[in-house]
Amino acid sequence: MQEPVSRPMPLDQADGLRRLFAHTRVCMVPVVSNPNVAFGGVMLERLCTAFAEHGKHTLVVDASERASEPFEMAAIDLSVCIERLSPQVSYLAARGLPLRHVNAAGSTASFLDAAMQAAPNCDVLLVHASASDLCRLFMRTDATNNVRPLLLADDRPASVTHAFAAMKLLTQRAGLVVHDLLLGAAAHSPRSERIAMQLATCADDFLGAVLRDWVQIDPATDAREAPTPELRRLVREQLKSALGDTSLAEAAPPAAARSVARPTHAARAAGRSTSAPARAAH
């Protein structure tokens, strides 16, 4: 009787470590879907363009409320469901898919592993989903310590209210307390800075959270145009945080940072009279 052939031994003791950390260089970017934003797709396109400038291939995992249903093959082979949109961007329709990976603790983080295994060449995993789905995907784990969610909003009250509610959920349920904001508004919108300031103030005062940075994106912008310096900075900081690569930070001096500053007492008093972050959008 022939003895079964055993698998070859690894060439060195580091083989297991290499397999264990095969995806540690993937930048995970949770983007909070906002059904009240009219041009969310444009903002995602601009984001992918900025990542492409760094030579990164982005897999957009769309598990949002408006995403398409996944293909039937998703339960068998996730890789065949990934659509290549361009040399630098791939797309996975994933509405409802994360919940298929939920464990007894309520975490769906194993879906992130499945997505990365299905697209081993991706450098950025951009997960577009509701705040509740993102809480289950990115709840407190060592793998998500460097994750900084991106909120989406525009200059209409309903979208700002939704963004604040999402921030509250991510802060209280997932322990994700540092956020960035993509704000869709015309280039000369008089409300953009006021909205960002109000969200930052409410985050600090009521949630103990931080709105670290914000970028205004004009919905009329062509996705093929070069990213603005502000968007480049935000993407560079996202990569730096996720990958721990300090070499990505040299392009912007400290004075160029647009972290949302605490407003003056007079400005805060004026904003406090509105009683809700959405009032800044009026």
Q: Which residue has the tokens 């996944």?
A: 70
Residue 17 belongs to some domain of the structure: no
Residues contacting 157, CB < 8 A, separation 6+: 278, 279, 281, 282
Residue 152 belongs to some domain of the structure: yes
pLDDT of residue 202: 97
For the full predicted model, state whether its pTM sits above 0.85.
Answer: no
Residue 55 belongs to some domain of the structure: yes
Residue 220 belongs to some domain of the structure: yes
Structurally, the chain folds into a number of domains equal to: 1
pLDDT of residue 48: 96
Q: What is the CATH number of the domain that holds 105?
A: 3.40.50.300
Residue 4 belongs to some domain of the structure: no
Residue 13 belongs to some domain of the structure: no
**Other CB atoms within 10 A of residue 32 CB:** 28
Residue 217 belongs to some domain of the structure: yes
Query: Containing domain of residue 200, as a range?
Result: 24-281
pLDDT of residue 3: 46
Residue 148 belongs to some domain of the structure: yes
Give pLDDT < 70 ranges for the chain.
1-24, 141-144, 245-282
